[in-house]
């Protein structure tokens, strides 16, 4: 159903919503006003994922600012409502009121504020202030054919396609003695440094440690070190070329170690797919998707032939399409489905399936 759009007003009129004697601020392309009646936020229309402006139907991002009065107004808006406008060619479009979803605790550390609309934007309004651009080039998925027989080549093809090249390769890493798959990963990270900048880091310098199953070489951590992954060290005989991977919970206090289903070469691909999806610029989450409706959603994607990732937590299976990653965790009744995309337009067709999305950047 077509929705009626609010009328445009001038930016000067929008700022006066803050009340008489308002104070004006500039945060990058955003303009804010604080006054006795409200806090007014004016953002640029456009597509700036993870940077500033309208992100999706519920979220607006603002750059950080070490301005105590401004920070207080955004993070504690109970006394002064936060009214959001988007700047278009013909004026400013009212988007509604918002509250802070996350922000730094102190102004001096304020790296940014996420505002959440109290009423989500309807689709026509969202497309006007955050238009869906035409998709750019997307990487292919032919690498899926290599997963079972040449997982390191599959990992390389995926990483070179998904992550951007950077200006100059980093220094050649010291890889003497590392298992072949781990050395190959670090050689690849020299060409695609994003592989060493995941939220859950792949260690630039793997370190030796001990554990319930013996000596080990830790190469990745999760949850700030609350879990890690390692391989037996010194290397074991028959598995020396592609060793098994140990997953250790609580490694510093009461370590519990289990063996991953995939050997190191295939585990590294699992880990990379997981982190690439979680770090994708555009995302969509459906928390309680009925299993009976999953097939049409996933039919255009190719399943990646790997064991479930994080079996004690999400037991996620991966699916891919050009420029699109999906991760599915399910029980006998419903599933949690997460998508990550390189371009917003890759997510937009998912709307046709009618799922209830907790987040939808498309």
CA–CA separation, 262 vs 316, rounded Å? Answer: 14
Domain 11-129 - what CATH class?
Answer: mainly beta
For helices 180-191 and 151-162, angle between their N-to-C axes, nearest 10 degrees: 20
The model's pLDDT over 209-242, given as tens digits with 9 standing for 90+, comes to 888 888 899 999 987 778 899 999 888 765 577 9
pLDDT at 167: 76
Do the beta carbons of residue 58 and residue 116 sit within 8 Å?
A: yes
DSSP classification of residue 241: S
pTM: 0.85
DSSP 45-87: -S--TTTSEE-SSSEEEEE----HHHHHHHH-TTSS-EEEEEE
Going from N- to C-terminal start, the domains of the chain cover: 11-129, 163-272, 280-360
**pLDDT at site 175:** 66
Top-level class of domain 280-360: alpha beta
Domains 11-129 and 280-360 share a fold: no
CA pair distance 294, 331, nearest whole angstrom: 13
Predicted pLDDT of residue 277: 97
Distance CA 180, CA 157 (A): 17
Reading the chain (362 residues) residue by residue, the pLDDT tens digits are 456 788 899 999 999 999 999 999 988 889 999 999 999 999 999 988 878 899 999 999 887 655 666 777 777 667 789 999 999 988 999 999 998 776 554 444 445 788 999 999 999 999 999 988 888 889 999 999 999 999 999 999 999 999 998 876 666 767 677 889 999 999 999 999 999 999 988 998 888 988 888 889 999 998 777 889 999 988 876 557 799 999 998 888 888 888 999 999 999 999 999 999 999 999 999 988 888 889 999 999 999 999 999 888 889 999 999 999 999 998 888 889 999 999 999 999 999 888 888 889 88
Cα gap 60→80, rounded to integer Å: 18
């Amino acid at each position: 159903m077509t929705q009626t759009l609010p009328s445009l007003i001038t930016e000067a009129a929008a700022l006066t919503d803050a009340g008489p004697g308002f104070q004006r601020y500039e945060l990058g392309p955003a303009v804010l006003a604080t006054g006795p009646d409200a806090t007014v936020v004016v953002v640029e229309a456009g597509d700036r994922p993870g940077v500033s402006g309208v992100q999706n139907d519920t979220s607006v991002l603002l750059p950080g600012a070490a301005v105590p009065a401004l920070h207080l107004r955004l993070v504690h808006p109970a006394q002064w409502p936060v009214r959001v406008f988007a700047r278009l060619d013909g004026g400013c479009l009212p988007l509604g009121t918002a509250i802070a979803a996350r922000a730094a605790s102190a102004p001096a550390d304020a790296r940014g504020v996420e505002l959440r609309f109290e009423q989500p934007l309807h689709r026509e309004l969202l497309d006007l202030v955050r238009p869906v651009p035409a998709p750019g080039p997307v990487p292919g998925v032919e690498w899926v054919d290599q997963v079972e027989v040449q997982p390191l080549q599959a990992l390389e093809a995926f990483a070179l396609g998904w992550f951007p090249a950077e200006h100059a390769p980093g220094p050649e890493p010291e890889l003497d003695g590392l298992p072949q798959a781990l050395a190959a990963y670090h050689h690849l990270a020299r060409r695609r440094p994003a592989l060493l900048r995941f939220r859950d880091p792949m260690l630039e310098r793997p370190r030796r440690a001990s554990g319930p199953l013996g000596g080990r070489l830790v190469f990745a951590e999760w949850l700030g070190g609350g879990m890690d992954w390692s391989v037996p060290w010194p290397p074991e005989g028959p598995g020396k070329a592609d060793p098994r991977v140990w997953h250790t919970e609580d490694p510093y206090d009461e370590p519990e170690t289990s063996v991953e289903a995939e050997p190191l070469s295939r585990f590294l691909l699992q880990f990379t797919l997981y982190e690439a999806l979680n770090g994708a610029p555009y995302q969509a989450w459906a928390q309680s998707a009925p299993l009976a409706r999953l097939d049409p959603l996933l039919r255009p994607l190719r399943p990646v032939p790997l064991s479930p990732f994080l079996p004690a937590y999400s037991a996620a299976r991966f699916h891919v399409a050009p420029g699109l990653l999906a991760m599915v965790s399910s029980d006998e009744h419903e599933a949690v489905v997460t998508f990550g995309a390189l371009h917003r337009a890759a997510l937009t067709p998912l709307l046709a399936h009618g799922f209830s999305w907790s987040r939808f950047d498309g």
